[in-house]
Amino acid sequence: MAVTIRDVARRAHVSVATVSRALTSPELVRPETRTRVLAAATELGYQPNRAARGLITGKTGNIGIVVPDLDNPFFTGVLKAVQARAMQADYAVFVADSDEDPVAEAKLVHAMAKQVDGVVLCAPGLEDSQVREVAGVTSLVLLNRRLPGVPAALMDSAGGMHAVIDHLVALGHRRIAYLNGPRTSWSNQERRRGLMTAVAKHGVDLVDLGPFAPRFEGGLQAADLALAAATTAIVAYNDIMALGVLARLRDRGVSVPGDVSVTGFDDLTYASLCSPALTTVAMPVAQAGRTAVNLLLDWLDSDHTDAPQIMAETQLIVRGTTTPPKR
Amino acid sequence: MAVTIRDVARRAHVSVATVSRALTSPELVRPETRTRVLAAATELGYQPNRAARGLITGKTGNIGIVVPDLDNPFFTGVLKAVQARAMQADYAVFVADSDEDPVAEAKLVHAMAKQVDGVVLCAPGLEDSQVREVAGVTSLVLLNRRLPGVPAALMDSAGGMHAVIDHLVALGHRRIAYLNGPRTSWSNQERRRGLMTAVAKHGVDLVDLGPFAPRFEGGLQAADLALAAATTAIVAYNDIMALGVLARLRDRGVSVPGDVSVTGFDDLTYASLCSPALTTVAMPVAQAGRTAVNLLLDWLDSDHTDAPQIMAETQLIVRGTTTPPKR
DNA sequence: TTGAAAGCGCTAACAT
DNA sequence: ATGTTAGCGCTTTCAA
């Protein structure tokens, strides 16, 4: 077995209680004693057993994160930031992948509950009521989902989509197609909301297509429909769909941005690597991830009266797939 | 506080020991009693406290995984499989990101050690001796790294690279450039090993360039050098570099695959989405991830006499960037 | 400022 | 087949 607090106590010629105090409440022990204890601890390579500590303090020093898909760079971006911020705060992180299954999401949170102080639930597909239920079993912070009473780290996709339309309109586009992602997803609803506001403001024509699968194939399928609608610009739900659109357009001999402008959403790595490079909206995944952890940590020692929802700004990245329409 | 084993015991009119047995060793308790206990447990929504259990059994029911970069789809692919397989076996998983820092790798494993039954260490940058040291603190399984005495899940990159050369030679290429990744990385060494074997076998000319940064920019830089060397094919260390090569070649008006063939390695999503689609080698990340967990679980109840190293096969994916050379 | 002792939730002897 | 009891490693009263 590993080295325990008792080994340290023996070596430092003090009681286990003193060792414990030296480690967790330094002010309660004489500096001299403290140094002796610390020395003994490092000499033995002592690492407190967090499970044992948690048993008594009721805090585990762990947080959990549940994501819909670990193959999606959007969520791993969040994960990376969550893990980094958590480590900084001396928390370890559990991950779980729900595989886009709402039922699994709830199950996973339940399973984690006993081992963590709280969990970050990313873009859940759960109904509001189920999210509430889950928020009852452990401290919850939502990412990209809004629910009164539950803290949330949000990204302003509506604003990003608004910027996309502003951009296209400024270029002179007057008839624009939007390729919807999954109707029920919060992301699509938000993006659509920003779109609608902007479209109404500018008084331009919107051709609302879909929903399509938020994948390359969805883009392939959508491209032909958008073309048939004779719009000068195509706004895709996300980058992957946009890449599908680009591919199909190329196959049909339609030039981008010559004949039609195309935009994506997310700013995945390869949006900048394809040619022409894709005009898109960058999501502040890292910032949102950090914020989520901060919210969780704050929530843990708050009286739970107000649940903040913090919005991180998106950013329009103008690249090569948008120009003024031909006239 | 949550519901404990005592609450269940009281409700089922038995002792805590019986509850414990009913849950963990059903055969030791009368079926009738067992049902009563189980009923009480579900009614109360009882979930055993794993930390408390671990304190006495010495097993945590957790495993850890340490990766160099959570933004790299290669590692998140592994992670996804690891988490899926672990969950299946009723293990929860801790993740940590070392940010490509060998020192951090070692630290992270140490930090996790107390909370896990073992850890999967992915493609560590650590020296052999340091990996050994780390293997002493907890049960370790290596991914894409070979070290006698330590179980490992490997991917046959050497074989994959060999297949690349076979393919190019079959097309008629006789003078090939290899763009090295980081010299010290196990991956580059393995890929290079396969390359050398194949090159020697076929007796073709190899122009060995680099090392380059395994990024898009590295590819941009490498492209000009490869062109100057007048080879008919360019074999990149990985897909991202290959995409950089493609971009630079296009800028210089060099046609792919017309003027020169290009191959990547890894089969990232966008390798199939760019145009022409990239000929590359698919890494069996999911399989290796599952294998790593299996090895770890086996290792935990083995006598540690033999440490298996299991190799998963890579696969050459022929797409649009390779054709016979111009003559 | 320090030590002795109780106990967190659970399992594993040891009894019965 | 079931109950009693002693810890697992740690923190936290309570006393000294």
Tell me the residue length of chain A: 327
Q: Taking residues B273-288, what's their average pLDDT?
A: 94
The owner of tokens 């403001």 is A201
How high does pLDDT run on average in chain A? 95
Q: Which of B215, B263, B266 shows the shortest CA–CA distance to B77?
A: B266
**3-state secondary structure string across B7-33:** HHHHHHCCCHHHHHHHHHCHHHCCHHH
Residues forming a β-bridge with B176: B206, B233
The pLDDT of residue A152 is 98
Residues 50-89 of B with CB under 7 A from strand C: 52-53, 55-57
Question: Cα–Cα distance between A239 and A265 in angstroms, integer?
Answer: 5
Flag residues of chain A having pLDDT under 70: 1, 327
Matching CATH number, A157-283, of 1.20.120.330, 2.60.40.10, 1.10.8.80, 3.40.50.2300? 3.40.50.2300
Q: Which of A131, A125, A186 shows the shortest CA–CA distance to A158?
A: A186
The pLDDT of residue A275 is 83
Q: Do A51 and B114 touch (CB under 8 A)?
A: yes
Topology (CATH level 3) of domain A62-155+285-312: Rossmann fold (3.40.50)
Q: Taking residues B191-207, what's their average pLDDT?
A: 97
| Confidence check: pLDDT of B151 > 80 | yes
Q: Quick one: A5-57 is in which CATH superfamily? A: lambda repressor-like DNA-binding domains (1.10.260.40)
User: In Å, how far are A109, A181, B119, B259 from A126, measured between CA atoms?
Assistant: 12, 17, 32, 53
Q: Do B270 and A275 touch (CB under 8 A)?
A: no
> How do residues B51-98 score in pLDDT, each as one tens digit?
999 999 999 999 999 999 999 999 999 999 999 999 999 999 999 999
CB < 8 Å from B in window 101-140 of A: 110-115
User: In Å, how far are A20, B125, B134, B250 from B130, measured between CA atoms?
Assistant: 30, 10, 6, 44
Is there contact between B24 and strand C, defined as CB under 7 Å from any strand atom? yes
Residues 264-283 of A with CB under 7 A from strand D: none
The pLDDT of residue B184 is 87
A47 vs B1, B73, B114: nearest CB: B114
Amino acid A34 CA to nucleotide D15 C1' distance, rounded Å: 22
Query: Beta A92-97 vs B92-97: how paired, if at all?
Result: antiparallel
Kindly identify which residue of chain B lies nearest to residue A98, measuring between CA atoms: B84
The residues, ordered by sequence, that sit 6+ positions from A182 with a Cβ below 8 Å of its Cβ are: A188, A211, A213, A214
> How do residues A230-265 score in pLDDT, each as one tens digit?
999 999 999 999 999 999 999 999 999 999 999 999
Q: Do B110 and A50 touch (CB under 8 A)?
A: no
Q: Do A73 and B71 touch (CB under 8 A)?
A: yes
- Nearest residue to D6, CA vs C1'? B56
Q: Do A50 and B114 touch (CB under 8 A)?
A: yes
Domain range annotation of chain B: 5-57, 62-155+285-312, 157-283
| A250 close to B (CB below 8 A) | yes
Q: Which of B145, B84, B78 shows the shortest CA–CA distance to B286?
A: B78
| Confidence check: pLDDT of B273 > 90 | no
Q: Which of B267, B269, B278, B258 shows the shortest CA–CA distance to B160?
A: B267
CB B198 within 8 A of CB B165: yes
| A270 close to B (CB below 8 A) | yes
Its pTM stands at: 0.93
